[in-house]
Amino acid sequence: MARAFASIAFTNNVKAAQARMGSRDAYRAAAEGDVEPVELSPHEIEFIAARDSFYQGTVGENGWPYVQHRGGPVGFLRILGPKTIGYADFSGNRQYISVGNLDGDDRVSLFLMDYPAQRRLKIWGRARLVDEDKESALVARLESPEYRARVERGVIITVEAFDWNCPKYITPRFTEREIGGLIGERDLAASVPAIPVERDQSKSFE
């Protein structure tokens, strides 16, 4: 567990709750460990590139959190650098709650889920909204040409911390594409004819 994560997540109130529940000593080392550079490893990069959705949390000026689901083609959450990710923000219901929240507070939290493998990655960062008219080349790096949804803006996130959650209580769920792959593999196995076994006729069996 990285110190960057602990320094953000373990506020004084959280530490007090940990102390009451008896887990403070176990987590104390994470908050007091050496400062390490926050960079995405090949493990995180591979995981992010395989996602077709994530959950994003922002906070409004009234203090209320807001969680939004973002989806797109596999890999639409792009890796732009060792600590920079971004995505094309597609047109939705036009409430612009996340956009408005980020205009006032650039802090963002992402939850990336892999339901079949029961894995999840949490990311904290600071987001910047990118206008296509002003930074068209950057927005073009976020677009998926084969995906026909209209891009309204780009969102660039500088990663400040990340942490992997344990698989406990993650119910395996499968997308239509994943189920299709599983069914295809099953049908392929069923269609392979059995290989006849030749008996050695030189031996007799009683």
Q: What is the pLDDT of residue 3?
A: 85
Inform me whether the pLDDT recorded for 33 exceeds 90. Answer: no
**From CA 24, how far away is CA 16, in angstroms rounded?**
8
Token reading at 181: 């792959």
116 and 48 within one domain? yes
Q: How many domains does the chain have?
A: 2
112 and 21 within one domain? no
Domain that holds residue 110: 38-186
Q: CATH number, domain at 178? A: 2.30.110.10
Inform me whether the pLDDT recorded for 14 exceeds 70. Answer: yes
181 and 148 within one domain? yes
Inform me whether the pLDDT recorded for 15 exceeds 50. Answer: yes
23 and 56 within one domain? no
38-41 long-range contacts (CB < 8 A, ≥24 apart) are: 38/2, 38/4, 38/83, 38/159, 38/160, 38/161, 38/162, 39/82, 39/83, 40/79, 40/82, 40/83, 40/85, 40/159, 40/162
140 and 106 within one domain? yes
Token look-up 């990069």 returns 45
Query: Which pTM value belongs to this model?
Result: 0.84
Q: What is the pLDDT of residue 199?
A: 45
Is 195 a domain residue?
A: no
110 and 44 within one domain? yes
Q: pLDDT of 183-197, one tens digit each?
A: 876 665 666 555 444
166 and 96 within one domain? yes
84 and 15 within one domain? no
60 and 7 within one domain? no
Q: What is the pLDDT of residue 202?
A: 41
Q: pLDDT of 86-138, one tens digit each?
A: 999 988 888 999 999 999 999 999 999 999 999 999 999 999 999 988 999 99
Q: pLDDT of 155-189, one tens digit each?
A: 999 999 999 988 889 999 998 888 888 887 666 56
49 and 6 within one domain? no
Q: pLDDT of 35-75, one tens digit each?
A: 677 999 999 999 999 999 999 999 999 999 999 999 999 99
95 and 140 within one domain? yes
Is 99 a domain residue?
A: yes
Lowest-confidence segment of 30-34, 62-66, 126-130, 142-146 by average pLDDT = 30-34
Is 199 a domain residue?
A: no
**From CA 182, how far away is CA 68, in angstroms rounded?**
29
Is 205 a domain residue?
A: no
* Mean pLDDT along residues 145-151: 86
